[in-house]
Chain A
Amino acid sequence: MKFGILVNEGPYQHQASDTAYLFAKAAIAKGHEVFRVFFYHDGVNNATRLTVPPADDRNIVNRWSALALENNIDMVVCIAAAQRRGLMDENEAKRQGKDANNIAPGFRISGLGQLVEAGIQCDRLVTFGD
């Protein structure tokens, strides 16, 4: 089955991101396809490479990056939600005249159309959030 995943909450504050990650991993292990993970609302905060969690805790951001790169999953961060919350890649930082960027490997910034497209393309779109 082809899955789309929507993550609506940030890392650590809320379990949604953990559960979405574990779901994606389990789906892939069972031979399903994860077409896209879309990060929306505070979920965009899963894409910052600047988190430094305690060494004995899971690293949620790195875990997503590794999953995406190993399995060639398209991980999209909503641009409108990201702009509000200070998430940006190199291009966006240049465009907005900001002095830094913070997107972790495996994530890309794009529009909400990518979420709707995931809904159209996938057999199931599964939401993780409140």
Chain B
Amino acid sequence: MSDDMDMEEGGTIKKFMFVNRKAPYGTIYALESLEVVLISAAFEQDVSLAFMDDGVYQLMKGINTDGIEMKSFSKTYRALEGYDIEKLYVERESMELRGLTEDDLVVDVQVVGKSEMGDLMNEQDVVLSF
């Protein structure tokens, strides 16, 4: 089984989108989503990240986690570029509803409207939502 799989994998590049919908702290979804994203980079897939709903807070500048005794992972988003993960989409409606602008975010992103986000999701082979 594994031999066949390895051969197939060599040639298969799929479009993976990781959809981040939850606030960075409070639950572990955002942190564990990042862990999958980083692993997926090793598989040389076509990876993009989407941030919507409270997920847009994951990219917010100036997060200080000292008071909640959790490790901050804001830096990891800035490191994604080094893994060739450069397609980061933020849903405009979610961002504006929370009073944020692109300047409030720790990385360069593409801001897209709700319907454009839907189109992007439609183009994917695999959508993982956390």
Contact = CB atoms under 8 A, between A and B. Distances in A.
> Do the two chains bind?
yes
A16 to B, nearest CB: 12
B110 to A, nearest CB: 23
A81 B9 contact: no
A5 interface: no
Contacts of A127: 127-129
Contacts, number: 55
A120 to B, nearest CB: 5
B32 A40 contact: yes
B60 to A, nearest CB: 21
Contacts of B40: 116
B36 to A, nearest CB: 5
B128 A81 contact: no
Contacts of B128: 6, 119, 125, 127
B5 A117 contact: yes
Given A8-B130, A41-B29, A80-B35, A121 B8 contact: yes
Interface in B1-42: 5, 8-9, 12, 14, 16, 28-29, 32, 35-36, 39-40, 42
Contacts of B12: 120
Given A112-B39, A120-B45, A81 B32 contact: yes
B43 interface: yes
Given A6-B128, A112-B36, A120-B8, 12 more contacts: A41-B29, A41-B32, A111-B39, A113-B43, A115-B36, A116-B16, A116-B45, A117-B5, A117-B43, A119-B45, A119-B126, A121-B9
Interface of A: 6, 8, 40-41, 80-81, 84, 111-113, 115-117, 119-121, 125, 127, 129-130
